[in-house]
Amino acid sequence: MGEKVESSIGLKKVLGFIPLFIITIGIVVSQSSVVSILQGAGLGGGTFFIAILVAFIIALSYISTYSELALIMPKAGTISTYTAVSIGHFPAIIAALSAYVAPTLFGSIAELFLLQNVIDTIMPGSFTNISLIVVWVFALLNILGIDLFASIQSTISFTMLVTLIVIGLVGLGTNNSQGIPPEQIMQNFIHPNSSVFTLVLIALWPFIAFELVCDFIEEAKKPVKHIPKAMFGASIVLLFAYCLIAFVAMKLVPAEVLSNTDIPHLVLGEVIFGNAGKIIILILSITTTCGFISTAFATTPRLLYGMAHHKQLPTIFKKLHPKWRTPWFGVLCIATLITIAILIFENNTDALLMLVISGASCYLLAYIIAHIDLIVLRKKYPKFPRPFKSPWFPLLQIIGIAGMVYAFINNSPSPELRLKVYINVAIFIVLIGAFAFIWVKYKMRKGLFEPETIEQAIKD
């Protein structure tokens, strides 16, 4: 009886366009995103703008694909739902868990370590357990309801975006340039060097995860109108913000300083604002990290909730809190995994770049599978209603797949780091693949590549 009531009530439709747009910004912009942009600026100079544009085009391709898929099957499970219908439950589970749970862990750890590093640099010895505090405070806030989350996230994300743009605009008028002259930056952009080939994934990380707003589709008031608009609008705003801050960093800070520090944003803040820059960057660090952690707790448990509805995970993941209608078990599960990872890594800042690139590489798997899903579903269900259709099909999907395969192969300038990333990704895929094989074959009792009907997927 409890499950029937739960499924009939479901998630609360409370999100309009502005909350969805702000949530999307908060999902994508993280402290590690800012660090990636600044380190990329140091490594590539003006050439890095080419990598940013390539990353932006790749992002547009997957945003277009997810917009169509999400509105065909408006369910919280997103990639697990689409893949189950197109190519079966086995790849659906692998895609969802390895490409979303793994990056949530990698990205969250990197964010929390960066925040701890900034705090330790500005205020040594203070707030030594800030990582665990942030994790469990935002876990609780997300359990207390999506409308509370949206209100807090709007404040955090707005402050974060304004701070980022203010740093860029003030930096344009700063004269104490120690970096690359603007004319040389433009020359490097017009005549890029070969470094662009190893910088695409570094540029892509700050454009990853727009599609996670689709996990809120069952809570959106007007999903057909607002979900695609939120993703496309956020991507354009962030393209401007990233290019602005990258240009300012190239102009003001020596390239070797940007590329050889884990906290280049703190260095840039001090160059622009002096000692006051420490406070500004502290605000940016707190808002970006809290925004990332908060959205991780808001999105990933909803993915698990959708998977449980498709019987791809134990039924406890689809239990909603009786009062706040939130997937509480998924939130607690993610919080526990992040806590364990924090205790294992013990604030190892040397692992930051490896964690970021490992997370980005896992995401690429989901995007490749999503593009394949759309191509398959266009052929299997050509007349099925599509409130949004990806333009220039299948050109964007082919560009997206090719770009992501290329970015994965060239995921790091360092062969040693590249090997570590390959090992991380392989371990996650093997472990999750083993779980998916056992679960689909013996629990669900289905063929590994036996697709679900689209009607059943929408009904679940």
The pLDDT assigned to 90 comes to 94
118-122, 219-223, 316-320, 387-391, range with greatest mean pLDDT: 387-391
* Number of Cβ within a 10 Å radius of residue 175: 6
Q: Which two tokens stand for residue 144?
A: 């207390």
pLDDT score recorded for residue 314 = 92
For residue 428, pLDDT beyond 50: yes
- Distance (Å) of CA 397 to CA 230, 231, 379, 393: 20, 17, 14, 7
Q: Which of 40-49, 205-214, 231-240, 258-267 has the highest mean pLDDT?
A: 231-240
Long-range contacts, 429-434 (Cβ 8 Å, 24+): 429/94, 429/98, 429/365, 432/93, 432/94, 432/97, 432/98, 432/102, 433/94, 433/98
The pLDDT of residue 174 is: 82
Q: What is the DSSP letter of 268?
A: H
Q: How long is the chain?
A: 460
Say which amino acid occupies 316: I
- pLDDT, residue 351, reads 64
Residues 6+ apart with CB under 8 A from 310: 77, 80, 81, 84, 89, 92, 452, 457, 460
pLDDT computed for residue 176 by the predictor: 75
pLDDT tens string 78-110: 788 889 999 999 999 998 888 778 888 888 888
Residue 389: per-residue pLDDT: 93
Judge if pTM exceeds 0.95.
no
Give the residue with greater pLDDT, 191 vs 444. Answer: 444
Let me know: does 96 contact 77? Beta carbons within 8 Å. yes
Q: What is the pLDDT of residue 188?
A: 84
CB atoms within 10 A of CB 72: 24
Please confirm whether the linkage preceding 394 is cis (ω < 30° from 0): yes
Q: What is the pLDDT of residues 142-183, one digit of tens each?
A: 888 766 666 666 677 778 788 888 889 998 888 777 888 888
CATH 1.10.10.350 fits 2-459, yes or no: no
Average pLDDT score over residue span 218-240? 91
